[in-house]
Amino acid sequence: MGLTTSSGDFNWANLIGGLFFGMIGLIGFMYGKRDKNPKRMAIGVVLMVYPYLVYNTFAVYALGIVLTAVLYFWR
């Protein structure tokens, strides 16, 4: 018996991944705002929002890694 959500059982891996990539998104958004770079701001917002929409643990981490790489390499 665990916590249940509308998508099924509660998953700690999703929670931790969402928090981790959400923090990276917040940092990316702040740097984008400081540098007046709308691309970084947009990727930061996507990193903060997508964990709420994706329920598969593998997809959360895969998308987070890809978006973080895009945030880092796309200047």
pLDDT tens-digit map of 59-73: 999 999 999 999 999
CB 44 within 8 A of CB 26: yes
Asked if residue 4 belongs to a domain, the reply is: no
Using pLDDT thresholds of 50, 70 and 90, give the confidence band for residue 11. Answer: confident
Q: Does a structural domain hold residue 3?
A: no
Tell me the residue range of the domain where 34 lies: 9-73
The structure's pTM equals: 0.84
Mean pLDDT across the stretch 4-32?
86
Residue 70: exposure state from Cβ atoms within 10 A (0-12, 13-18, ≥19):
middle
Of 73, 64, 66, the residue nearest 24 (C-alpha):
64
* Beta-bridge partner residues of 8: 5
56 in any annotated domain? yes
Q: pLDDT, tens digit, for every residue of 23-71?
A: 999 999 999 999 999 999 999 999 999 999 998 999 999 999 999 999 9
Count the domains in the chain.
1
